[in-house]
Homo-oligomer: A and B are copies of this chain.
């Protein structure tokens, strides 16, 4: 049996090192095409294990392909991964960090995270009413008594957010306070995040439908030359959720787990995060209150409308948000250039793998 969506899904990996972690994923990833976004020094050679089909982009490639619009792609931060979303030509994207390994389920079996994400994406979501027995489409499950029948068809799923065993995705203060905490709890559930509810989206183990939500998966301005880091995926998650809610799309979280091997340095993280820790207290109410008008009927229109609101409302917090609002617009321009409506090929010429 051919692997599911073999020709319709790209795996996007941001990295600064050799991709030895792929060895462990070989049985699951090898049939798929990889898009590797090399961060940092573009002269460094990244080794990719034999037998993987990949294209690799370094900073020089990004600058060449996007020209002046390359300014919207972060440097020296894993936020650079969103360039991979933009150059992909597939319907689906799975993105994973290079310190994430294959986890085991409670029976000791290796978890094929990608297969589970695909299942999540191909199966509807239920954001309009809560099902207490979790995913009603899972085998052996259904909608419980009291679930409106008119809502049982569900809505298309745009995002599948997977979780992490071992090192949990904590912020720097929590890392500092609980240096030894590990996540060993395997929760056997996938759930839809209800409409109107925001969540902290982590980019470590994430899949999405590019056609449905791709242009909103912008990971913002982080890292080199920017006042914050480690809010790239959060930013994307807030924007994505508001737009999914508006367009009637679903966001799932839960299974699959990956094994997150090592905690990043909490002192370095604190330096990257501390402004975000303040700012999120205003950003989250902003997104909770954000509304989009009826004429925002595409992801692009929604995203541009959000960028205006960011400039107007968050610009008061710090000039950074005006810059970010500009970058949001640039991102959409770049996206539309590389993904023309007619389906014509974009003219990026990446380093091709075998």
Using a CB–CB cutoff of 8 Å, the interface residues on chain A facing chain B are 106, 129-134, 138, 140-150, 161, 163, 168-171, 173-174, 178, 181-189, 191, 193-202, 230-231, 233-234, 237, 253, 277, 280-281, 284
Determine which residue in A106, A187, A202, A237 has the highest number of CB atoms from chain B within 10 A of its CB, and name it. Answer: A187
Contact of A189 among B145, B178, B182, B187 (CB under 8 A): B187
Beyond A129-B199, A130-B198, A133-B163, whether A230 also contacts B187 by CB under 8 A is no
**Among all A-B residue pairs, the 10 with the closest Cβ atoms:** A146-B200, A130-B199, A194-B197, A146-B234, A145-B171, A187-B189, A196-B196, A145-B169, A144-B169, A130-B197
A150 near B281 (CB under 8 angstroms)? yes
A131 contact set on B, CB distance < 8 A: 200
Q: Do residues A140 and B182 form an inter-chain contact, with CB atoms below 8 A?
A: yes
Given contacts A149-B277, A199-B129, contact A174 B134 (CB under 8 A): no
Chain B positions within 8 Å of A173 at CB level? 149
For A106, A132, A134, A191, which residue has the most chain B Cβ atoms within 10 angstroms?
A: A132
Q: What CA separation (Å) do A197 and B237 show in the bound complex?
A: 19
Please indicate which of the listed interface residues A106, A169, A199, A233 has the most CB atoms of chain B within 10 Å of its own CB: A199
Are B168 and A199 interface neighbours, CB within 8 A?
no
In the complex, what residues of B have CB within 8 A of residue A193's CB? Answer: 130, 194
Number of copies of this kind of chain in the complex: 2
Q: Give the distance in Å from the alpha carbon of A87 to the alpha carbon of B110 in the complex.
A: 53
- Which B residues touch A281, using CB under 8 A? 148-150
Report how far A230 CA is from B191 CA in the complex, Å.
26
Are A197 and B197 in contact, with the CB atoms below 8 A?
yes
Residues of chain B within 8 A of A196, CB atoms compared: 194, 196-197
Q: A131, A141, A148: which has the most chain B beta carbons within 10 Å? A: A148
Question: Which residues of chain B have C-beta atoms less than 8 A from A234's C-beta?
Answer: 145-146
C-alpha spacing A168/B146, complex, angstroms: 13
Contact in complex: A144, B170 (CB < 8 Å):
yes
With a CB–CB cut-off of 8 A, which chain B residues contact A184? 140
State A5–B182 Cα separation when bound (angstroms).
Answer: 31
Chain B residues with Cβ under 8 A from A129's Cβ? 197-200, 284
Instruction: Kindly list chain B residues whose C-beta atoms are within 8 Å of the C-beta of A161.
Output: 132
Are the CB atoms of B202 and A132 closer together than 8 Å?
yes
- Measured in the bound complex, the distance between the Cα atoms of B141 and A185 in whole Å is 9
User: What B residues does A195 contact at CB under 8 A?
Assistant: 197
Bound Cα distance from A143 to B280, whole angstroms: 14
- Expressed in whole angstroms, the Cα–Cα distance for A207 and B300 within the complex equals 46
Residues of B contacting A186 with CB < 8 Å? 188
Point out the residues of chain B lying under 8 angstroms from A233, CB to CB: 146
Roughly how many angstroms separate A132 CA and B96 CA in the complex, as a whole number?
A: 17
The answer to whether B168 and A144 have CB atoms under 8 Å apart is yes
Interface centre among A146, A171, A185 (most CB of B within 10 A): A146
Cα of A169 to Cα of B149 in the assembled complex, Å: 15
Whether B130 pairs with A183 at a CB distance below 8 angstroms is no
Residues A134 and B200 in contact, CB atoms below 8 Å apart: no
A133 to B185, CA, bound (A): 9
A194 to chain B: closest residue by CB: B197
Knowing A196-B194, A197-B197, A202-B132, the reply to whether A146 touches B231 (Cβ < 8 A) is yes
With A141-B168, A144-B171, A145-B234 already in contact, 4 other A-B pairs whose C-beta atoms are closer than 8 Å? A133-B168, A138-B185, A140-B181, A194-B194
